[in-house]
Amino acid sequence: MPLVENGQIVQDRYLHVEDDGPIPDRVPAIVSAQRFLANADALVRRDGSLAVWWPNDRRIAELAPWLGHLALVALQFPKFRDGRAYSQARLLRETYGFGGTLRATGDVLRDQFHFLIRAGFDSFEVKKPADARVFAEAAARYSVVYQPSADGRVPALRRRVQRAGTDPG
C-alpha cells in the first residue's frame, strides 16, 4: 500500500508484525494494540523503533502512559465516514503532546487529506497508487489557515497580529 509522509511518497520502513509473529531487533516494527497492551513493558525495551496500530474504538487514554516510547501511532479509519480517528489524533497531539508520527490507515480518501493534516496526521496509507501522488500534492496546496488546530500552523489572524507587533499572547 502506498505511503505518504510529510507530503512525500515514501517506502514504509515499519515491519507489520502479526500478533503471533516474531519481532526482530533493530527493525522498526508496528504491532496491534492488543499485542502492545499485553506486553508493553517488554516491547518498549526492545532495540528498534516501535509503533502501534490503534483501532478507533479504543480509548487513547489506554495508550497515554506509553507514548514517550512510541515512534509512530497508526489510527484506523474502517470506513471513510467513521471520523473517530480524527478525535483520537487531536487528543494525541493536543492533550497528550504526542510528537511522533501519526499515521492514518484504512479507508482514507483524497477528499479528506487536508482535514487529516489539520487534525495532526503526517503519514497516510492510501489504497491506490494514483492517490499517493494526489495526497503528496495536496500537502502543500493551502498556505493559509484560519482556525487553530493540531497541525501547529499559525492561523491567519494571529499571523497578522504578530506582524503588527500587537500580539496579546
Domains present along the chain, CATH in parentheses: 3-143 (3.20.20.70)
Residue 131, H or E segment: helix 129-138
Q: What is the pTM of this model?
A: 0.81
Highest mean pLDDT among 69-78, 119-128, 147-156: 69-78
> Are 9 and 123 within 8 A, CB to CB?
no
Spatial neighbors of 163 by CB under 8 A, at least 6 apart, are: none
DSSP state of 153: P
Q: What is the pLDDT of residue 144?
A: 56
Choose between 92 and 158: higher pLDDT. Answer: 92
